[in-house]
Amino acid sequence: DSGVTQTPKHLITATGQRVTLRCSPRSGDLSVYWYQQSLDQGLQFLIQYYNGEERAKGNILERFSAQQFPDLHSELNLSSLELGDSALYFCASTRQWGRNEQFFGPGTRLTVL
Amino acid sequence: DQQVKQNSPSLSVQEGRISILNCDYTNSMFDYFLWYKKYPAEGPTFLISISSIKDKNEDGRFTVFLNKSAKHLSLHIVPSQPGDSAVYFCAASARGGSEKLVFGKGTKLTVNP
């Protein structure tokens, strides 16, 4: 158990809908990262937050947005969902700046029908 | 443009033998490398890392070798155990800026009893 929690574990929805994925980092971790893993793909970096502020953006679609709250949990919002958004979404956290390994949650499997 | 490549989608070895997983990268700005192990329905678990100032790092049965001139790293598992059967991801991060990780697509290791 990495100490990172993600909810829900599974999510099935229809095209055009909007969903929110939630992540609670390890206790004391200030940095949260979101990654997407599509079929047969490695994990793709989406966005990073550090202590409530957006720190870096990867290949995140404009239909996607995220935020980190004062209690350091983070939410990833996916809207106008398309079939291609079906994937595993992972959250990871690290304690602080620097070369610390990232600890991953169990992921949320999103299926768009 | 895949910056981190794991060219072997799968590898099968006998229990007790050595497993060697390979990874190549193209971005010369990468200066920190990590290996993660992933079981089905779980998030990636950190295994071992190496900074670009080193060429070897050991942790128990796991050793990572880095060849900067060849932009190549490898993970050696000795001796291999059936419980090591999982997908292994190589990841890298670049100096400066965000510590986002760039992942390879993974190698599925099967250790046969």
Nearest by Cα to A91 from A63, A68, A111 = A68
Q: Which two tokens stand for residue A94?
A: 């690290």
Q: What is the mean pLDDT of residues B63-91?
A: 97
Contact A61, A79 (CB under 8 A): no
CB B82: neighbour CB atoms within 10 A? 10
Which of A4, A101, A107 lies closest to B49 in CB terms?
A: A101
Type of residue at B7: N
Q: What percent of chain B has pLDDT over 70?
A: 97
Residue A34, pLDDT > 80, answer yes
Contact residues for A26 (Cβ-Cβ < 8 A; gap 6+): A2, A3, A4, A93, A95, A103
Q: What is the mean pLDDT of residues A40-46?
A: 86
A38 to chain B: closest CA residue: B105
A99 vs B32: CB contact, 8 Å cut-off? yes
Nearest by Cα to A57 from B2, B97, B33 = B97
Residues of A in contact with B91 (CB under 8 A): 43
Distance from CA of A98 to the nearest CA of B (A): 7
Beta bridge partners of A110: A11, A87
Is A89 touching B (CB cutoff 8 A)?
Answer: no
Strands A19-24 and A10-13: unpaired
Contact residues for A111 (Cβ-Cβ < 8 A; gap 6+): A10, A11, A12, A13, A86
Task: Please give the pLDDT value at position A67.
Answer: 97
**Lowest-pLDDT range of A7-21, A25-39, A51-65, A92-106:** A92-106
